[in-house]
A and B are shown apart, each in its own frame.
Chain A
């Protein structure tokens, strides 16, 4: 799905149908998934912070589609409105039908760094490797998920549930996640450095800047840097 790729960013949209059943204490599976996802908000950090290269992501349970109003007022509708000979029943039957989903869905949408080729498999493999048990806790009540036993079957399953997303907002600057986190860290540290060292003579400034560069190690992406995915400061 090349439409899912913008630069080095990949837009992944997954819709997994949730089984129409309930637990022994009478909670519908879809509601249980939602409860568990809401529980993620209460954790110190999102489990998704552990998944490599995740720019941003969102989970929700889709209960049904929303109908805003009946479409109409095309030329023929207007004509039939004006012609009293058209019986009311005929006119109503000609209007589009209201749509509903056949099941409730778990929706997972995510932007990640996939590189120029959009390495979806690599991302999903990383996701399974990082939080496989948490994935099972959420997806376990979806149709077909019982076939997922390892990274490969997870990839197969997710690809079956994938929707194309030709238009998406890429809110990232295209670099790998660790590059971006390091850049943000450097930017913040440099602002602090500038504030603390303004007005110093050139020699001291140079000396302090060298010490600063040693400390922040710009080429070392591993540390010091910002950790991924902070819920709260």
Chain B
């Protein structure tokens, strides 16, 4: 029997990437708790306004789509301040308890990405009790005025509970000014919101599809899990929601009581600065040398063309790209999604189209990790007998990605402007999913037979002459072309802060607010 989720109990940001549902802007506000009992009342008041995952409609009896949404999550320190029982607290995962800063070595947050360089709100977090980040509240809105409306509501509630919670300042904005909130919004082109980030790539394609999510059966191809017979199935719900069966046919580890964790999940919040000048300069310099030209090279970094996100496995060169573009232009929304997501690496095992170190291959290798060396130098072939299912090595490493760009690029010749992306990743096991991908697939390349080569775009590259970062762009092993080597890759992305949060269900929120969480 297929899974039917209680969408009224699940927070809306878990199921929906709001940016794709007509909410191109958001504001993230973080609170420090000053009085536990009153802070629980604050949580209760906010909970009444929290946006669920329910399906919206205009018909009678249907819930109307709101003008702005509210979602809430807690850092471990926050749950402690809300006085959850110790037996419940100790059931949370060790990495959630430790927090993102403590995991810097695993995440590769070194050099310019190290916590002492983070925005003050994140640098001060977990150093001084009064500066600890306890509560996260996200407001997403359709229009700027509506975002202000939502923010006015939230600051009104915060004022009402000013003895209990304080808004934390310290988000860096324009010219180093510090703000009470983190603003994010879609990059605009001709007055219209786009799905682009500041390097010019189309973002947010191919989010995983899991059982029970609305319409999961419609877009499972390329976004669920690859099966042996070439078909696709949705991923197990328990990879993304606690209290449900995961890909190992088990319940993911979660705190007691089950009502506290069920329909909730963990959220990884990361503010990533984009060095646009460094990126442009490197792309220009290498693009002049790269035989395929600059735009193909940009596509090789990510595995998708920058303009419309066309996957390289479907459009590996200019000619096939033209064909793809024609098809893409003619397709409806569902057709477009299919064109962008419905592919495998089965016909590109040697990485000639989509390089092993490109973004999409590293974060979701699909069945391509089940490879062994072929007879020709540089060729890899599918080792289909090694595992039960083609996705055996990747189905437990999938992550829901939510996020929007922040800031604006005013001067592309400078790195130090206020521009980047805030990404929120949702999974039921931060260590097994997010941290593994970050450590093993983004900042290391051994699983891809690429030695210590990092993912080209997100890797914590070191351009230092002693240990320069490099990546190889493979070519067809049957051709006489030489692989192209990207050398001395500089760091394009720098971490500016973040923390691990727990996103409870609506039931759990009400229990937390009432102080009735009881693990016995």
Contact = CB atoms under 8 A, between A and B. Distances in A.
B487 A195 contact: yes
B318 interface: no
Given A191-B470, A195-B487, 6 more contacts: A194-B485, A195-B470, A198-B484, A198-B485, A199-B289, A233-B467
Contacts, number: 14
A99 interface: no
Contacts of B289: 198-199
Interface in B475-502: 482, 484-487
Interface of A: 191, 194-196, 198-199, 233
A195 B485 CA distance: 5
A196 B467 contact: no
Interface residues of B, number: 8
Nearest to B484: A198
A194 B378 CA distance: 15
9 contacts: A191-B470, A191-B485, A194-B485, A195-B470, A195-B486, A195-B487, A198-B289, A198-B482, A233-B467
A233 B289 CA distance: 32
Contacts of A196: 487
**8 cross-chain pairs, A with B, having the tightest CB-CB distances, nearest first:** A195-B487, A195-B485, A199-B289, A194-B485, A195-B470, A198-B485, A198-B484, A196-B487
Interface of B: 289, 467, 470, 482, 484-487
Contacts of B470: 191, 195
Nearest to A188: B451
A153 B467 CA distance: 46
A198 B482 CA distance: 9
A74 B252 CA distance: 34
A32 to B, nearest CB: 32
Contacts of B486: 195
A196 to B, nearest CB: 7
A191 B451 CA distance: 12
A198 B294 CA distance: 17
A6 to B, nearest CB: 22
Contacts of B467: 233
A196 B482 CA distance: 14
A191 B485 CA distance: 9
Nearest to A187: B451
A72 B356 CA distance: 50
A64 B482 CA distance: 57
Contacts of B487: 195-196
Nearest to B451: A191
A199 B288 CA distance: 11
Contacts of A198: 289, 482, 484-485
A170 to B, nearest CB: 19
B487 to A, nearest CB: 4
A198 to B, nearest CB: 6
Contacts of B485: 191, 194-195, 198
Contacts of A199: 289
A198 B467 CA distance: 19
Contacts of A233: 467
Nearest to A197: B485
A192 to B, nearest CB: 8
Contacts of A194: 485
